Chains A and B, each alone.
Chain A
Amino acid sequence: MLDKSYYEKVDEIIAGYGTESRFLIPVIQDVQSEYRYLPPELLKYIAGKLHITEAKAYSVATFYENFSFDQKGKYVIKVCDGTACHVRRGTDVLNKLREVLGLKPGQSTTEDMLFTLETVSCLGACGLAPVLTVNDNVHPSMTPDKVVELINEIKQQEVQA
């Protein structure tokens, strides 16, 4: 069971839209941006408020790749795997990241909940290939070496903070 504050937050978000079923996507988007993931426990509650079934809400939430029921790390790294990034060795960048972060196959979030690694199909910045984003900050022309630097930088920031 989640803390009461989660449900209050949902109430607050829904109050901003209304209780019609068409607001499902904006509501779960806002919930996700609040917690960086969509807590599964909240889905039934949200569905009930919007007069739809949990199965329908689950259907919508799983249709879009963007919604995640798994808790994400503090830094979400999205590596572009679009055509341009792919041909400019985006895969090397991805593999290096997996190695540096120590992610096992099938794992996308580090155990310390600091990093989540994802691939995206195209960030629409092919001129910057290979490109990745860290929480919406764009890092262009990445190489395996620059990736190591980037991760170390973030880790240092975390230690200092």
Chain B
Amino acid sequence: MDYITIDGRCVPIEGEKNILMLIRKAGIDLPTFCYHSELSVYGACRMCMVEDEKGRLMASCSEQPRPGMVIRTNTKKLRKYRKLIVELLLASHCRDCTVCTRNGNCELQSIAFKVGIHDVRFKNTKELEPIDLSSPSIVRDPNKCILCGDCVRTCSEIQAVGAIDFANRGAKAKVCPAFDKPLGETDCVGCGQCRVVCPTGALSVNTNVTDVWDAIADPDVRVVAQIAPAVRIAVGDKFGMPKGTNVMGKLVSALRMMGFDKVYDTNFGADLTVMEESKELAERLEKGENLPLFTSCCPGWVKFCETKYPEFAGNISTCRSPQGMFSAVVKEYYKEQDVADGMKTYVVSIMPCTAKKAEILRPDNFTDGRQDTDRVLTTIEIIRMIRQAGIKFDELKSEAPDMPFGMASGAASIFGVTGGVSEAVLRHLAADKGYIAFEQIKYSGIRGTDGIKEATFDLNGREVKLAVVHGLANAGKVLEGIKSGELSYDFVEVMACRNGCIAGGGQPLPIGPRTKAGRMEGIYQVDRDSQIRVTDDNPIIAQTYREVIAGNEHKLLHRTGI
């Protein structure tokens, strides 16, 4: 077998595309800013430089391994080199670490520590630029950007949005939208994947923590929380628990301790979505209109479709997302009680997603002009609040969410992963709801990490073709295929983020392959642990349709005005 020698050890070449992969395989944690296995190789940060036996330096990320190479990763020259690179990066970096959202969780900070920088000899001559707060989802602080380009490549290669790019060159180079417009005025879909790859605090979540603390402190406000499926398996990350651990019970206790009046489960909203979306699919199939039906759970996808492919906007389901349905129903449920108690119900939804912050502001998600979801907190914000409250999360006892909207099916819990919405809908539509039938749905091809998955199922004798897509670049490919007539489906599930909400823009970092796998397994475990595997069996659904929705499906559960 071919091998190369890294720091005196032989490392076999097993299809690795670059030396960096071999170095990491050899158990050496070479620091990088601009290398991500899912993105194209960029070679900008120069942190992964290695030295060959002749003393030549090369960037290992963009160098192909050749059999017999002899590489060293930690020589005097390289240590000096790396240190200088980081020192220069720090020289033009806004170093307000103690008040930065990434403090303690920043790659620049940790690499600076790792290479041993204790002093920056150069003065920062860069003028401070204003912070861009225009997007409800993402905050852009150009002063913290180190120009690694990870966000630029993610936005264009993974998401096909391309809202930001490099501008100018040399010392004036920066990452910004065209004409340095505010992010909120661009095609940015708010998915937050740029923030997931950003090694510094240059891109961060637009936070609503203070608003929520204020609402909790107000005695006249009934603060109601809903917790999304992908939150419960990610919060534990930051409290030393294994990746993918379901901490719903602890989260419920923590929220009660913080002062939330009611703690419910967004999965209930997902069950409502299963009901409405299945109905819509059946109707469209019958009429043969507006097919394929695209899912509408993911606000990043909805905006992507509306801005880049407006010709398909009519194919998107008119259903509100689970978050939207949930809030509308809860506000309706408390309407009379609010008047009687002289209170105001305030819905806080806890989401893995930054785009949800924009979704709640869309007038088509309002009921009679009222904003149904008051604030969205991402997973990292709720973690921040737990820490602010001084709660020892890992020591908490589990508690169950409140009734009635705390009860949901296992089918709803898998909404947090790619293929989950389809699987939940298929379970609902299946005539046979036995264990074997559900296993067959599971293995029909809708699970897994492939970017575009296809499956067919039989609905009352009609063969229905569906596609499950994640990552907006993949969604773009599917839409182009449908446009050209190459592809044809009846139902298409789209999640903007690769792997679904488990890797959403508001989730704790880092989100590498192991984290994704752990969270995916965690979500499926929630489903396996559920006694109720299919929406039909959730008794609260029928009760809610009867007593709360009472014929107002269109007003409460669908996007109005379309």
Contact = CB atoms under 8 A, between A and B. Distances in A.
Interface of A: 40, 43-44, 52-59, 62-63, 69
B527 interface: no
A43 B156 CA distance: 18
A55 to B, nearest CB: 4
A70 to B, nearest CB: 12
A40 B187 CA distance: 17
B134 to A, nearest CB: 15
Given A53-B162, A55-B162, A40 B169 contact: no
B186 to A, nearest CB: 8
A124 B427 CA distance: 74
Contact of B167 (A44, A53, A59): A59
Contacts, number: 39
Nearest to B163: A55
**In the A-B complex, the 6 residue pairs with the closest CB atoms:** A53-B162, A55-B165, A58-B178, A54-B178, A59-B165, A55-B178
Interface string B147-171: 0000000001000011111111100
B156 A58 contact: no
Interface of B: 156, 161-169, 176-179, 186-187
B165 A58 contact: yes
30 contacts: A43-B178, A43-B179, A44-B178, A53-B156, A53-B162, A53-B163, A53-B165, A53-B178, A54-B178, A55-B162, A55-B164, A55-B165, A55-B176, A55-B177, A55-B178, A56-B156, A56-B165, A57-B178, A58-B165, A58-B167, A58-B178, A58-B179, A59-B165, A59-B166, A62-B167, A62-B168, A62-B169, A63-B166, A63-B168, A69-B179
A155 B525 CA distance: 81
B75 to A, nearest CB: 35
A63 B176 CA distance: 13
A54 B161 CA distance: 10
Nearest to B161: A53
Contacts of A54: 178
Nearest to A43: B178
Given A62-B167, A63-B169, A56 B162 contact: yes
Nearest to A65: B169
A59 B178 CA distance: 8
Tell me which of B164, B168, B178 has the highest count of chain A C-beta atoms within 10 A of its own C-beta: B178
A59 B169 CA distance: 9
Contacts of A63: 166, 168-169
Contacts of A40: 179
A57 B165 CA distance: 9
Nearest to A55: B165
Contacts of B165: 53, 55-56, 58-59
A53 B166 CA distance: 12
A57 B176 CA distance: 12
Contacts of A44: 178
A53 B153 CA distance: 13
Nearest to A69: B179
Contacts of A43: 178-179
A60 B479 CA distance: 28
Contacts of A52: 162
B241 to A, nearest CB: 39
Nearest to A63: B169
Given A40-B179, A56-B156, 8 more contacts: A43-B179, A53-B163, A53-B178, A54-B178, A58-B179, A59-B166, A62-B169, A63-B168
